[in-house]
Amino acid sequence: MLVSLLLAVVVDTTLYVDATAVPPGNGSAAQPFTALQSAFDVLVGPFASKTIWVAPGNYAGPFDLHQETTSLKSTAGPATTRLDGSLGNADLLYDFEGFYLHGTFATFVSPVIVRRCVFDGTGIGGTGFFFDSAAQVSNCSFFGWDTAIQEFVLSSGGGTIENVVVGPGASPSSQGFALQGATTVRYCCASSSITGFPFGAIGCFVVGDVGFWSPSAGDFHLAPLSPCIEKGDPAQLDLDGSRIDIGAFAYDPTYAATPTIYCTPKTNSKGCAPSVSSTGTASLSGPDDFVLTTTSLLNKKNGSYIWSYAPKATPFAGGTLCIKLPLVRGTQLNTGGNPTGLDCSGSLVWPFTQSYMAQKHVVAGSIVYAQAWARDNGFAAPNNSQLSNAIVFQVAP
């Protein structure tokens, strides 16, 4: 009789939050709360739980979960759903999915499931995620923390951390994971600046750059050629059927929010690494002001930009060809620079004009990958070339 009575009151209350709805709302699907704290403030009792669905928006904290048994999920994922501030009294938060957090998140009572979240510690430091035991953390991205994931010293372990990427921390001594119990770590990648990373764990590795798109802008999508692409658990697949990527975002070849740099330049015969950048906006009808510039090239050398519609890392001329064949060679240029001697004062400046795009049939929405090339007679053929890193950008209408 007692058991049946308890089961009768074990219910799950579903609430909805949408920052763009008409305030204040009542938490229903038709009239969602506009403030996330309002959903936390709905108390459901000791033998009940609540599921909170959160629509895209920026939600300011800190938050108080009142130690209620709560499942907190976003409807659209971490790219558009942001929590600023810590989640206090999160002892009974058992399912947490699809958020971008700028602040400290902590949970203490197992089990907890955390999926597809970004933990951005820029300007904060400290610990990004702190747990007791049996935490299941998958496909999350960490950046800017002194410690990305920390386990309570008396934890019994038994959890799993997988498909997680850890970018550079707040200090040179930043660590990836500080684990105490029998937590399993598998298929994770981290910046080489991270210490305390489980090097012997299955499928885990460190790299110089994990390949986030633009951390300074809070964009933790994987950039082209990120070493974390298709390096997750081989038994798990992304929606496109490929091996799952590591991190909160699956790599998307159609994503290009802003021009970004990727790939590795070739150091030229004078010891310089040519670097590409851009100004203006690539568009077919807006201001015709998009310009590619590459500096630290050898002076007085012929060169040009090469571009295509896909990235690839292919050994070429002693460096890396960062774009996929077939490629297009742009206007022939000269690096200029100092008129005498040989140094790294050269540069290539190329307006990627609307008339040129029309000539090459570049359409709105195209994602273009470009790299600078120039001669370097300091190397014997076939390595007598300079190669910059590469840039990717999307062409606006």
pLDDT at residue 107 in the model = 60
Percent of the chain with pLDDT over 70: 92
pTM of this prediction?
A: 0.89
Please give the angle made by the CA atoms of 200, 206 and 210, to the nearest 5 degrees: 145
Burial class (CB in 10 A: 0-12, 13-18, 19+), 380: exposed
Over the stretch 15-69, which tens digit does the pLDDT of each residue have? Answer: 999 999 999 999 999 999 999 999 999 988 777 889 999 999 999 988 888 888 8
Which residues of the chain carry a pLDDT beneath 50? 1-9
pLDDT at residue 8 in the model = 39
pLDDT at residue 5 in the model = 35
pLDDT at residue 2 in the model = 35
Q: Residue 238 is encoded by which pair of tokens?
A: 């992304």
Over the stretch 318-352, which tens digit does the pLDDT of each residue have? Answer: 999 999 999 999 999 999 999 999 999 999 999 99
Host H or E run for residue 311: strand 311-316
276 within 8 A of 371, measured Cβ to Cβ: yes
pLDDT at residue 6 in the model = 36
Query: Cα separation of 132 and 138, whole Å?
Result: 16
Please give the angle made by the CA atoms of 340, 342 and 345, to the nearest 5 degrees: 90
